[in-house]
Chain A
Amino acid sequence: MRKIRGSIITAVTWVLVLLFFFPIGWMVFTSLKSEGDAASIPPKFLVNLNFDQYAIVFDRGMGSYLLNSLSASLGSTLIVLLLAIPCAYGLSIRPIKKVQDVLFFFISTRFLPAAASILPVFFILKSLGALDNITALSLLYTAINLPIAVWMMRSFFNEVPMEIVEAAQIDGANLRTELTKVVLPILIPGIAAVALICFIFAWNEYFLATLLTTFTARTTPPFLASFVDGRGQFLAVLSAASTVAVLPVVIAGWIAQKQLVRGLAMGAVK
């Protein structure tokens, strides 16, 4: 009885999961079809699959946009970690009065809609001569991601048992060794989770990239948005471009998913 019920639940789980994943699976499947097959209704399931659409995608120069995305995302993730880890540690080792206010400040910086600040940012960057610049874009992404990173990191730090830190202190460890040798190793999954989330947001950002970059620093999302040109059918080639655009993050997410769950679990704020 119990076994049958278990298998039913398993089957239901799988059906629901596949339903949820279907749009993405379908996108990949479509990207391997020819344009004619891709647009046919009822959909064709038994068709010749090929990588022709991917050749077209890279022919249109997607490579350089991917590279720009990679540098902006990696760069900003790195700076976020360098800033957020010490900051979160500082916030968790207490006696800062007004920790709440500091935290709230960090979170509130996320409330300004990008559309409101983008013109001011445009004018500031213009006067600094920093338009169409990967470094500037990375720094902006850092500013966007820092609040969430600090918030998450702090809850991870709070999970580190105080006794470990105190024991290290008695052994004469200074603050730096305390952080790097004692606390950080425990936090690796948490850091991986934060890094991944920051990377995802930076990789996927569309709005700032469209307005603040032109050619040298242009990233993948604006390229993708301008991909459909309306000549004939384009479902297959659009699917191929989308697949390439999301692939790096999806793979990173898949590899890091254990860390992600463990990392997030650690943030079980007491």
Chain B
Amino acid sequence: MLVKKRALLVGAGLAITAIVLSGCSGAGGGAGAGAAGKDVTLTLATVNNPQMKDMESLKGTFEKDNPGIKVNFVQMEEGDLRAAVTADVASGAGQYDVVTVGAYEVPQWGAQGWLKDLTPALTSDAAYDVGDILPPVKTALSVDGKQYAVPFYGESSILMYNKEMFAAAGLTMSNNPTWQEVAAAAKTLNTPEHAGICLRGKPGWGDLFAPLTTVVQTFGGAWYDNNWKAQVNSPAFTEGVNFYVDLLKTAGEKDPVSNSFTECLNQLSAGKVAMWYDASVAASILEDPTTSKVAGKMGYVHAPVYKTKESGWLWSWNLAVPATSKNADAAVKFAKWATSKEYQQLVGTTLGWTRVPPGARTSTYSIPEYKKAAAAFAPITLEVMNAVNPVQPGLNPQPWVGIQYVTIPEFQDVGNQVAQLVADAIAGRTTVEEALAKGQVIAQAAGDKQKK
């Protein structure tokens, strides 16, 4: 008996010690010193996009100007970032001092009280010039007049096309093309050497359904009507999806289900595709001669339309400070620095002017060096971003603000599942009608939760 008891004790003791030990070192490990005047370590969660990698490479300047503050970057793939940051912020774990949050989440999280209200800190600082932030972006980041995040870069969606290939085929492109014109051009330009058009096919609400939702909207469809009744199997939604799927099948890139932004960008830079409908931010990367074979050969025009006047989306990646941050003051300081006018100057002078994060500030577009370096895509970006209407992007009014997404917690789930079904239709395993009939049920269940 003695042996058994002792073993039990030892075993339990071991487990408890281990947990306690880990607990102790944990408390000391992550948080860093919180008190004012002492050294502060900020932990920043961000998505692994090129502009964020630039921010990491420049953080030394901030650390030099603000002695005592150190910034650690945690880069994540977009899906992982959402999972990790949502779990952290929703549970109040407070591991991150600055988080990178998409335009989809900011209003929802802000309304929950999970993000620090930045309005006082921004308006009191004349040098920051909060009025300089692009109006549609600022609208998307505010709830009831309180701004919960600052945009690091913003984007709309535009059509990018290879001018050489167009010239070779004797085609031209208007500044405001229709989808029918684009489809016709894509079919002409689709050859064994290069695909007619690259469109996202990777299942995901932020992958496939970002461009697809804008197509649906310009075809007159929407996810929900004004009373949260799902419209996924409506004729307009179906027509839009059918158009997209047919275009992919007849003139799209090969293996579309593999492809999202990064993959299409890769194919475009290698000169393997004639057109691409995607985020405007891609232009700055396509125009970088060190990494792109098509620099200087690309043209950029408005998102193709059908029944609406504009069809671009609106997205921004923003910096926000969770309400649980133990180093809120330093965190706000960093968020402001990374979205300031000086930061844009710093990027321009050290990394090159095409790398300046676009689509966040109006003044970016009047920096002489930037205007010169980004002449190919800066004017169109500004033009489109000011033209889109996140309050009513489609033909009919909608009960939420946002273009290529629906600002409810369930949307990413709904969008993902319907995207998987549409991917089956792209592969020909099912029809668009069947896919959307199933999608309607999923969307309606989420819509019902909004009604009560």
Residues of A within 8 A of B (CB): 35, 39, 119, 122-123, 125-126, 128-136, 139, 210-211, 214-218, 222-223, 225-234
Contact = CB atoms under 8 A, between A and B. Distances in A.
Contacts of B93: 122, 126, 131
B76 A135 contact: no
A95 B266 CA distance: 64
A141 to B, nearest CB: 12
B24 to A, nearest CB: 8
B21 to A, nearest CB: 6
A216 B91 contact: no
Contacts of B72: 215
Interface stretch (B179-187, B227-235, B285-293): B285-293
B9 interface: no
A123 to B, nearest CB: 6
Contacts of B27: 129
Given A128-B23, A132-B95, A227-B48, A232 B292 contact: yes
Residue among A136, A139, A228 having the largest count of chain B Cβ atoms under 10 Å: A136
Contacts of B19: 128, 130, 139
A232 B290 contact: yes
Interface string B257-288: 00001100110011000000000000001001
B50 A229 contact: yes
Given A226-B76, A230-B50, A232-B292, A211 B22 contact: no
B61 interface: no
A211 to B, nearest CB: 5
Contacts of A133: 22, 25-26, 29-30
B420 interface: no
25 contacts: A122-B91, A122-B93, A125-B26, A129-B27, A130-B19, A130-B26, A131-B26, A131-B95, A136-B22, A210-B80, A211-B84, A214-B43, A214-B45, A215-B43, A216-B30, A217-B29, A225-B77, A226-B48, A226-B80, A228-B262, A230-B265, A230-B266, A231-B285, A231-B288, A233-B266
A135 B26 CA distance: 8
Given A214-B96, A230-B265, A231-B285, A123 B91 contact: yes
B74 interface: yes
Contacts of A131: 26, 30, 93, 95
B49 interface: yes
Contacts of B29: 132-133, 216-217
A225 B80 contact: yes
B395 interface: no
What band does the interface of chain B fall in when counting residues whose beta carbon is under 8 Å from A?
Answer: 35 or more
Contact of B269 (A119, A134, A233): A233
B53 interface: yes
B75 interface: yes
B18 interface: yes
Contact of A128 (B26, B76, B84, B291): B26
Contacts of A214: 30, 43, 45, 74, 84, 95-96
Contacts of A129: 23, 26-27
A114 B46 CA distance: 24
Nearest to B46: A226
A128 B25 CA distance: 11
B87 A232 contact: no
B35 interface: no
B161 to A, nearest CB: 20
B405 to A, nearest CB: 21
A139 B18 CA distance: 8
Nearest to B20: A128
Contacts of B87: 119, 122, 211
A222 B49 contact: no
A133 to B, nearest CB: 4
Contact of B21 (A35, A135, A223, A231): A135
B127 interface: no
Contacts of A123: 91
